Chains A and B, each alone.
Chain A
Amino acid sequence: MKYVDEFRDAQLAKKLAEKIKVAAAADRTYRLMEFCGGHTHAIFRYGIPNLLPDNVELIHGPGCPVCVLPIARLDMAMMLAKNPGVILCTFGDMLRVPGSGRTSLLNIRAQGHDVRMLYSPMDAIKLAQENPDKKIVFFAIGFETTTPPTAVLLQQAKTLQLDNLSVFCNHVLTPSAMHAILASDDVNIDGFLGPAHVSTLIGSQPYEIFPQQYNRPVVIAGFEPLDVLQAILMLIHQLNEHRAEVENEFTRAVTPHGNEKAMALCDQVFKTRDSFEWRGLGSVPHSALAIRPEYAQWDAEVQFADWLQEQLQKQQKPPADNKACECPSVLRGVKKPHQCKLFGNPCTPDNPLGSCMVSSEGACAAYYQYGQRRIAVASGE
């Protein structure tokens, strides 16, 4: 068992596609949202939409952390990067996202500020130890998958009493965003493909509220093509039978309570923010994490509070998204990427004008990379 090839078998995929065709009732539609950007990417990479009948539609959700970070927070990261003596470090995708005035962290770096890419949050420890005269700020983003590694980083910083390292925390929570989507009136979804890796951490239990409160089924799905197809089939069966339950297709990694060790550590280090701004969803209550006061010494928002205040006052205009960019609608599944006037020209992965074109998990980047525009146009969408 290699956990990869077995779940990419083309023959089985064809059979599953057949089963889906048989199961999908011709007199209704099935609008299924894959919450997670990892699924969006896999769905396009393996051409899954082409395997589905017309009345089974996949709607791409907001589960791409790069895509949902609001411009104001990205601007704050750039302000931190401009602080003399700061080395700002973050994951590669974040460097290319356009902020206010289309400035990205890459532009800030070109202006001579020290901005670096890292692969693991733990690289920030090394950076802090190697640069004792600098202030290392880790610009942390991500859903529940990336949060525990940041918690380990903060715990290590405390153990080692590193006084030149801090974290700018932008970790966000999946279930809160699902609530926001189900509560908004322009989004019409019959069921959710639940995230794979997020669920390995939080478990399947936190999704129980969605069938109960909104009468919508959730099927947690792995990232391989057979996983996605099987989960779609399970959702169709539930909808046909008027059931709304949490089912788990990804049992090889997801248990009801997830990774309790990792979640307990997160709980020691982080607390829930009252609300947080999301691109596309607006302000969502209890949807993000802040660093606990016990770790304030390593919290960039505390350590650089005066500097950020000063910079915010200097800002001439309030942070604003590119008006023609449809990312907010794309992130709620209300519009498809090719319905944006800028899609493909001039907005491309090499020249992203919005956040959804940056990361490979962004719906615009996935559409662009795998040629869905042509398919969608050809099918008259």
Chain B
Amino acid sequence: MCLAIPVRIESIENDDTAMADIGGLRKAINISLVTDIKPGDYVILHVGFALKKLDEDEAQKTLAMISDIDLQNAVAAETAGV
């Protein structure tokens, strides 16, 4: 029941409502709990409410951290001329 998913904001209808793409369907969601939302943003949706905007830069950083060692290895291998 705590299920919450990232969804993409399609358009802003008013201060409280936005249309979001939820698994290919356009649905109205409540955005009154979040600030500075614009079309193209991703938010975490839970029981009809956007709880938080997702930060793309941070997501990239986390992915880089997860593949970190491999990146370093790749760099090391390159500098070693392998």
Binding site for B on A (CB under 8 A): 1-4, 6-7, 12, 15-16, 19, 36-38, 64-66, 91-94, 119-123, 141-143, 145-146, 148-149, 152, 197, 200-201, 222, 226-227, 230, 249-253, 258-259, 261-262, 265, 359, 361
Give Cα A146 to B58, complex, Å.
Answer: 25
Q: Find B4's partner among A148, A197, A259 (CB 8 Å cutoff).
A: A197
Asked whether A4 lies within 8 Å of B2 as measured between CB atoms, the reply is no
Residues of A contacting B65 with CB < 8 Å? 230
Known contacts A230-B66, A259-B52, A38 near B3 by CB under 8 Å: yes
Q: Find A91's partner among B1, B6, B52, B55 (CB 8 Å cutoff).
A: B1
Within 8 A of A (CB), among B45-64: 46-49, 51-52, 54-56, 58-63
Give Cα A249 to B69, complex, Å.
Answer: 16
| Residues of B contacting A: mostly | mixed
- CB<8 Å pairs between A and B, sample of 22: A1-B60, A3-B59, A37-B2, A38-B2, A38-B3, A38-B4, A119-B48, A145-B46, A146-B2, A146-B47, A197-B2, A197-B51, A200-B52, A201-B51, A251-B58, A252-B59, A253-B44, A259-B33, A259-B51, A259-B52, A261-B34, A261-B35
Sample of 12 further A-B pairs with CB below 8 A, known A251-B61, A265-B33: A3-B54, A3-B59, A6-B59, A12-B66, A15-B67, A38-B4, A66-B1, A122-B48, A152-B32, A197-B51, A227-B62, A249-B62
Residues of B contacting A2 with CB < 8 Å? 6, 42
Q: Smallest distance from the beta carbon of B36 to chain A beta carbons, Å? A: 10
Residues of A contacting B70 with CB < 8 Å? 15
